[in-house]
Amino acid sequence: MPRLSLTARLAAWFAVITVLVFGAGGGILYRALAARIHAQADLELVLTARHLRRLASELDSPQGITLHESRLDSLVLGNQSYFLRMQDANGRVLLERNPSHFAIGELPKVKPSNRIVEHDVQEWRTADGLTMRGVATGIALTDGSVVDAVVGREMSGPEALLAGYRDTLYITTLCALLAAAALGYLAVRRSLRPLRDIASSAAHVTIGKLDTRIPSGRAPLELEALTEALNSMLARLELGYQRLSQYTADLAHDLRTPLGNMRGASEVALARSRSSEEYEAVLVSNIEECERLSRMVENVLFLARADNPQYMMTALDFPVRDELQRVAEYFEGIADDAGIAIRVDASGTLHADIDLFRRAVSNLLANALRYTPRGAAVSIAAHEAPEGVTVTVANPGNPIAPEHLSRLFDRFYRVDESRSNSSDSTGLGLAIVRTIMELHGGSASVESDATATQFHLHFPAR
């Protein structure tokens, strides 16, 4: 089936509705008119028949009818479409007035004692296709004899009127159909113009012009929701695109540092001949930079994979305490070297992906150990509540200024810019924590004051 435009479809619907309304309305009026016309014709016939019966019943014999012919047939005189015939009991015609020579059928007769009503009128068709209506009645004369009378008429006049009305109805309906289709087409086309405006505005949106918005000024109310939805989609795309650009720029910037370090160290080393110890030192430092690069690439890859909606998580139930203990043990060496204690205080069961859980806690613990003063302790706690499990990593140390807190989980965000050159900072640790929590349908938060900096991981209840 060909695809019709909305305009054509609506115009066709208008046309169909118009035809239905005109057809139904006209049909009802036509039937009412036809009924009225027939009722009028029947009433005239009934009155004529009654009149004839009254005049004839005053006569004393069938011969009287022939005698008073002129009085009786004056009832239909001058009307070419009427006829009148009276016969005696033997079928002898006493009186006949039928100027148009209509064929008169055999009709059931009303008894002389019965009143003639509209219901007694009969209809028949003549051989040459004329519609006739008429009434037959018996009439009792004063001498007790009974004569029969038929009064009738031919209906072509009223029928022609009705046929004319029908033709007018057909023509009007046809005109209305054409007018509804044409005007409907124009009206719909005009009404849909805002939609075309939206399409042409949308066509101007490019990557370089994501700040374009679709104007909703004169658009009809129904389209306001559409423009709003499109505009908020554009706003989200713009923000996402800005973030992506920023991410790429930050990534390039962060990759440049270790590469620059390696190149610088190698060039300095090559500037003149060196002892093998000096070469060894350069190689060791280059390996460290390479490790940092690998870490960064690995983190970026993880974030890219976790951003993919098809990322597969394998969540299991496990005792939180055991897992936290294991992470703490892993960091024991670093903690001992820094003179920091790690305390674990946890209970309850968690439903999560163990690898991701370890990774999130490790990132928090690595940060905490970095910012805790020597001799102090980092605490890892978990508690179960009806709304879920919260894991908290807290450490004493310099508080983080409130203006940084909201951006801490952003990719490559560091409170101290100079740390971006440090070999153990990728600026992605907390971004990974946040992504892991989002994968679990939970969230990560931070609070920091003079006593401690606390990072919370909220896992929702199953």
Ligand X SMILES: Nc1ncnc2c1ncn2[C@@H]1O[C@H](COP(=O)(O)OP(=O)(O)O)[C@@H](O)[C@H]1O
Residues contributing to the site for Mg ion (CB under 5 A): 367, 429
What's the closest the beta carbon of residue 247 comes to Mg ion, in angstroms?
Answer: 17
CB of 385 to ligand X, least distance (A): 24
Taking alpha carbons only, the member of 158, 152, 132, 160 closest to residue 82 is 152
Please say which residue, 104 or 432, places its beta carbon nearer to ligand X: 432
Q: Which of 146, 282, 376, 415 binds ligand X (CB under 6 A)?
A: 415
Window 347 to 406, contacts with ligand X (CB under 6 A): 363, 367-368, 371, 395, 397, 400
Which of ligand X, Mg ion, none does 18 bind, CB closer than 5 to 8 A by kind?
none
Closest to ligand X by CB, 184 vs 429, is 429
User: If contact means CB under 5 to 8 A according to the sort of partner, which of ligand X, Mg ion, none does residue 227 touch?
Assistant: none
Minimal distance, residue 371 CB to ligand X, in Å: 4
Closest approach of ligand X to the CB of residue 359, in Å: 12
3-state secondary structure 224-291: HHHHHHHHHHHHHHHHHHHHHHHHHHHHHHHHHHHHHHHHHHHHHHHHCCCCHHHHHHHHHHHHHHHH
What type of residue is 376?
A
Quick one: 146 or 255, whose CB is closer to Mg ion?
Answer: 255
* 3-class SS of residue 1: coil
Instruction: Please give the structure tokens belonging to residue 248.
Output: 């790429």
Distance CA 145, CA 136 (A): 17
Partner from Mg ion, ligand X, none contacting 426, C-beta within 5 to 8 A by type: ligand X
* Residue 414 interacts with ligand X (CB under 6 A): yes or no: yes
Note whether 426 binds ligand X by CB under 6 A: yes
Rounded to whole angstroms, the Cα distance separating 107 from 124 reads 9
Cα within 13 Å of Cα(340), Cβ side:
26
- Position 419 contacts ligand X (CB under 6 A): yes
- The DSSP line for 92-152 is -EEEEE-TT-PPP---PEEPTTSPP-GGG-EEEE-TTS-EEEEEEEEEE-TTS-EEEEEEE
The closest residue (CB) to ligand X is: 429
Residues found in the chain: 462
Task: Work out how close the CB of 198 gets to Mg ion at its nearest, in angstroms, rounded to a whole number.
Answer: 46
Q: Of 106 and 417, which CB lies nearer to Mg ion in the complex structure? A: 417
Q: How far is CA 41 from the centre of its chain?
A: 58
Binding site for ligand X (CB under 6 A): 363, 367-368, 371, 395, 397, 400, 408, 413-416, 419, 425-431, 453
